[in-house]
Amino acid sequence: MNEYASRLEKIEAVLRWALPLRTPSEESLLSFGTVPDAVRSAQLVPLVAPCRELVERGGKRWRPLLMVLCAEAATEDADMFERVYRLTPLVELTHTASLIHDDIEDASASRRGAPCAYLTWGTDTAINAASWLYFQAAACIQDARLPAETQNRLYRLAAEELRRLHLGQAMDIAWHKDSAAYPAISEYVAMTRLKTGTLASLAAKTSLTAVGADSAVVSRAGSLAADAGVAFQIFDDVRNLTTGNPGKKRGDDLAEGKKSYPILLHLTEHPDDFPFVSRCFEQARREGADSPATER
């Protein structure tokens, strides 16, 4: 990753700019427009701190990096590069918001090596902070100094992809709430394309739209990026059941009832194992990620 180090450092700097520090300044109120005089910057802490803390724990940052690389492939305009960097919070902060909500919905224990936001800050604060962050993430569009028509296209694009993300999450929740529900692999891929692929698609489409790429190029790049998102999720699924994902317990997908790709593939090839796998899910749900069921 050394060849990408300078880009990633710049992305981190932009993320620090996009989210106020732990003690927000009065300038942080600007994104709210006109607020009553009684509102003080300290009252932003319950919104900002849970989100900022999760961002500071790190992350792969491959989505904002994808944005930058798409721009570099599409234009040599240095000013355009700067504008695309300023747009990277759109995907990374949206991703952060989705993680906070996802952990609540899955009753997860940890994220990136520490307790989930809802366990630290309370479920009510975590839900509200993540909901705010979906909207705050899009504030970077108006700060990127783009033509009004381009800004409008980006707002429409972001809203559409967010609706798709929530559709994918709805599918995932329905399956993990029902121990007997095993989607077909095609359904799993569709869900993953919406839930995980959509932010990769948003990254590519946002970048190329910002630099003025042809609409056909934008669409094709978005589709390819969504494919990469699906591949990323499948790799994540495999690692969860084998080595474990960094910052999370190995096998916690089973405890959360998630019907991941390796399990669905196994059941497609060995349908007689349905009763056994269902029992493992039930046991892991009762006993948690440390259950012996996750080792079977």
pLDDT of 107-129, one tens digit each? 888 898 899 999 999 999 999 99
Distance (Å, whole) CA 296 – CA 279:
11
pLDDT for position 1: 53
Tokens of 268: 């497609």
Q: What is the mean pLDDT of the chain?
A: 87
| Verdict on whether the full-model pTM lies above 0.85 | yes
Among the listed ranges 190-204, 216-230, 257-271, which one has the minimum average pLDDT value? 257-271
Distance (Å, whole) CA 169 – CA 195:
6
Contact 228, 148 (CB under 8 A): no
What does the pLDDT look like over 283-292, one tens digit per residue?
767 666 666 7
pLDDT for position 241: 78
Q: CA-based Rg of the chain, rounded to a whole angstrom? A: 20
Sign, CA torsion 232/237/240/242: negative
Q: How far is C-alpha 92 from the geometric centre of its chain's CA atoms?
A: 7
What does the pLDDT look like over 225-244, one tens digit per residue?
999 999 999 998 888 777 76
List the helix and strand counts (H, then E) for the chain: 15, 2
More confident: 252 or 152: 152
pLDDT for position 31: 76
Tokens of 256: 């959360």
pLDDT > 60? residue 104: yes
pLDDT for position 293: 55
Domains and CATH numbers, the chain: 2-295 (1.10.600.10)
pLDDT for position 29: 54
Mean pLDDT along residues 27-36: 70
pLDDT for position 246: 65
pLDDT for position 202: 97
Put residue 134 in one of left, alpha, beta given phi > 0 → left and psi -120 to 50 → alpha: alpha
Distance (Å, whole) CA 260 – CA 223:
22
More confident: 99 or 27: 99
pLDDT for position 247: 61
Contact 66, 129 (CB under 8 A): no
Tokens of 246: 């960094």
